[in-house]
Chain A
């Protein structure tokens, strides 16, 4: 047997978190001996009335500055072994840098240049092709959220502001959105945290401004309006289903039991939905369940796709599955498997340093304690079977959920945008009390 036990060069120290003078919430996570430094800058970036400008800014941020064109930025990054990327989520713009550890100081200088002196290519005239009309999944998603939680809301409205912006408009948005106040910067590196913090202070001293106010607003309603909504799309090549049920967000203690009830319901090979819809009835190509959570709200969602024409059948089976689990709770064996599965799933979110950096930066930006996930497996182990059953009874009751489908059959859409029950021509589409 060959054994390798790499020495740990520095004893582990606590995470350092502080708000800099410019308002930047800065987190330094020690990773002794890590060959790479990971950096995540999380900026509030909820959709505004300038969707196209936001899209183009996200594509251009991190690629060029007034003194370095794209090629020069790419060359500088390559010399440091750095990768710079951006990701846009429902509420954030995340700028990520992964760099060879010794390149961190130079990467911070590059970051400062990218933030302080950005250069955006003039959007081509007449501009890149307009964004494609939303696909069936997006239309269903918007209709689901609109019905469940009311509107107007950035997550359920069709995006406004699709005209191609000018370079000036891109710079104006940069000045508004790419600001330290309200943002989170997380660094994970083997370097001594105080030294890292000093480097950040120095590199980003001139970066000021904010907050941008680009926070995702809460939905008008906190709990979903239950019912049944069926959208019709003659071109649909799949039947799609989405539900929105009540839920409680992490790190609320009640979330843990709900999470386990959700795992029993759906998400893996032996969960109830998979067994019933896929294995027993061969109805669904894919079926999943999860608790969704962001600044807008928190809801339990089932996501399912099947053959065209099966939308009503999917809705009926999903509703029956919910009702069954809510009525009787999980078997002891199901509860045991759910605890194991959920604990493993939790660990996978922190499986690599890069994933851990992204997860922790997300927690910091969402107001979650940084260590909540690390302690979560313990919390999962403490939930009793009875607590899972109680949570299922409270949150999985189909009478409290909105069940939405999009299929070939059903009422026809009336407009280009997401059809809603309100505009649909037949009574079938209006939310109707369901299950009771």
Chain B
């Protein structure tokens, strides 16, 4: 079958964005090879050799830029170029799929590059990973584990690629100064052979070209980090970073639902994780959670801080690493409370549950709801101003949320605006029905 194609004609800017979204990410890492999806993403940027420019150089020379992200449940490659370079870009895109053949030396050097990324990213991501793993046992980030990647071979990378990089598990989205007919023609020309050549496909999950949404039964709830690469000039698509910087971490996955071993941190605090509803089960309830978190952040948590000396900082972020609607993998809202001297974990958690309970008992006022929704709508529009971000959103909507009409880039703000105070209150009640994960964070002197 040919790769599903989404085209948005957006004339005027002289540019076109192409996103290839593949329905495989960190959750698909084979046992003992944590980070294989991330490694294959790196290997999808073939380097040049004598007489043959590398992928990034080709895109740059066309006046464009390219980048990629590995998430827990998908990997996306995105490129923006002047519109007249579309035929070239689609040819290069197809070429790197059809000729995926990493040399052992390249595998080793990219594994080393990833090891450096893991090292650099670790501090900022640990807290998210700890809480996510505690909330969804077995969950892991999508970056990988250096020791496991060090042993990865070219054959393993190729096997992963052949298993998962298939037209039935991918979406191509093209946004910009193009006509749909011409795009379809070019895609047929360049991608017609994808999936029909390239040797035997190992049997097993993922080779069946089924719908890209993955069944959640019997799967580990793999956690993942949206891994952003810095290839080319970078792009505006994406994300925010966590402010938390834990200093050291116990072995991952040790988190019992209760407090467990205190986690060393730069200050005394508590981290609380609430499981979020699955966006695939309904966009309305999912977006109500996003609005709830914004209301908490904007008004309720500042009010809590003003009214007590027991806590001296309070934030809440919706979606793994603060990204929402960026993945369909099991997700969380993360609450961070700074404990003033003498405040125990239990007391801090109690105060948080009181705040959530108050919203569960009585809906927020319009004066709270309106700014929260306006800020979220405006932020979404700002992101969707970028062609690359639009192409990404189309790819995700098609691949991860195929039954949710509202997940397309221009539809989300209207859905946010439709969230009512009663919806927010109902969401707060829903969050309270499942016990959150709590981790005590203990200040260590540097």
Contact = CB atoms under 8 A, between A and B. Distances in A.
A208 to B, nearest CB: 31
A347 B82 contact: yes
- Which of B9, B82, B378, B398 is packed against the most chain A CB atoms within 10 Å? B378
A14 to B, nearest CB: 15
A360 to B, nearest CB: 14
Contacts of B60: 268-270, 341
A356 to B, nearest CB: 8
Interface stretch (B98-106, B129-137, B382-390): B382-390
- Size category, B interface: 35 or more
A351 B386 contact: yes
Contact of A268 (B8, B61, B80, B236): B61
Interface stretch (B114-122, B153-161, B265-273, B367-375): B367-375
Given A5-B9, A80-B374, A344-B63, A351 B381 contact: no
A347 B13 contact: yes
A402 interface: no
B329 interface: no
Nearest to B388: A351
B386 A1 contact: no
Nearest to B63: A344
A348 B15 contact: yes
Interface in A335-387: 337, 340-345, 347-348, 350-354, 377
- Size category, A interface: 35 or more
Contacts of B57: 269-270
A127 interface: no
A219 B192 CA distance: 60
Nearest to B409: A4
A350 B13 contact: yes
B292 to A, nearest CB: 16
B387 A340 contact: no
A36 B371 CA distance: 15
A341 B63 contact: yes
Interface string B51-74: 001001100111111000000000
A351 B15 contact: yes
B195 interface: no
A1 to B, nearest CB: 4
Nearest to B171: A2
B374 A100 contact: yes
B9 A344 contact: no
A contacts with B: majority SS: mixed
A103 B370 CA distance: 13
Given A2-B6, A2-B7, A79 B374 contact: yes
Interface string A1-35: 11111100000000000000000000000000001
Contacts of B372: 78
B14 A1 contact: no
Contacts of A79: 370-371, 374
A394 to B, nearest CB: 25
A35 B375 contact: no
A1 B56 CA distance: 28
A5 B178 CA distance: 10
Contacts of A418: none
A357 to B, nearest CB: 10
A1 B13 contact: no
Contact of A344 (B4, B62, B375, B386): B62
Given A6-B410, A344-B82, A1 B180 contact: yes
Interface in B106-126: none
A81 interface: yes
Interface of B: 4-10, 13-15, 53, 56-57, 60-65, 80-82, 85, 180, 184, 233, 236, 298, 370-372, 374-375, 377-378, 381-382, 385-387, 394, 398, 408, 410, 413
Given A4-B408, A79-B374, A341-B63, 17 more contacts: A1-B4, A2-B7, A3-B9, A5-B180, A6-B9, A35-B381, A75-B371, A82-B378, A99-B378, A100-B381, A341-B61, A344-B62, A347-B14, A348-B15, A348-B65, A350-B13, A354-B382
9 contacts: A4-B408, A5-B180, A36-B385, A83-B378, A83-B382, A100-B377, A337-B61, A341-B62, A350-B13
User: Considering the complex of A and B, which 6 residue pairs feature the smallest CB-CB distances, nearest first?
Assistant: A344-B63, A81-B378, A81-B374, A78-B371, A3-B180, A352-B385
